[in-house]
Amino acid sequence: MGHREQLLAGAKRCLYERGYARTTARDIVTASGTNLASIGYHFGSKEALLTAAMIEAMDEWGDELERAVTVDPDASPLDRLTAIWTGVSESVTRHRQLWAASVDLVTQVDHHPELRERLAAAMAAGRAAFTSIVLDNSGEGDTFGPVDGEGDTSVDSKGDTADPVDGNGPVPGNGIEVADGASRAAPGDPGSEVGALVMAVITGLSVQWLLDPEGAPSGAQLVEALRTLAAAAGTTSGPAAVDGPAGHGGSPVAGAPA
């Protein structure tokens, strides 16, 4: 492993253990077994090195999210939601540092435009993928793994990533790939609000499990809350109907319009 790779590994370790704001250049040198001159030679600055390390950490978070999200293809949409949110809560318990680092990444986006761009693209792709996973409306191919041949986190001496995100197809380096024909779930697309809901709950759920694992809700409790809200609203077109409407793996709810 060369000095560049050692620096990235050391910087990523510091992000997990100390966080962005508390990491110094000397911390990285100690963690990587290199020297201060190597940071300037390979990355130009500590900030550029940490940016590259944050992008790698984001990719690792995407990989872990893929491992955490396992759904039964024969399950109902609400059972899929239960599996997704249960997998996330279990993942936070097993990989606390990784999930804490993902929260830390969000606090840095105002200072690192390229990181903001990647995270925003990852969120957009995640909404599309989760819409497909929950509603099963785009066939096979949606994944949360790294895109083959993509995801290079090399950073030049100015700290700019060498592979800027474009607006189409798989999103380089964000840990999420969406099948052709479902690369984006734009607001207003059928079911797009489902993916947005899943992502919003994952964000809040992970924070709750980081702060208060004893009091944080389970996946089953969250889905039961959706049922309770739907029942209180007296609607047949909300979450209570998700288990069965025609076209989503079941039969219409009693009393719903034909």
Stretch 74-94: mean pLDDT: 95
Split at pLDDT 50, 70, 90, the class of 166 is very low
pLDDT tens per residue across span 43-81: 999 999 998 998 888 888 888 888 888 899 899 999 999
- The structure's pTM equals 0.70
The answer to whether residue 256 scores a pLDDT higher than 50 is no
Q: Using CA atoms, how far apart are residues 33 and 47, in angstroms rounded to an integer?
A: 18
Whether 195 shows a pLDDT value over 80: the answer reads yes
Q: Average pLDDT over the chain, rounded to whole?
A: 76
Residues 6+ apart with CB under 8 A from 246: 252
Q: What mean pLDDT comes out for the span 220-233? A: 94
Note the pLDDT of residue 235. Answer: 56
In this prediction, residue 243 carries a pLDDT of 52
Q: Give the C-alpha separation, 27 to 32, whole Å.
A: 9
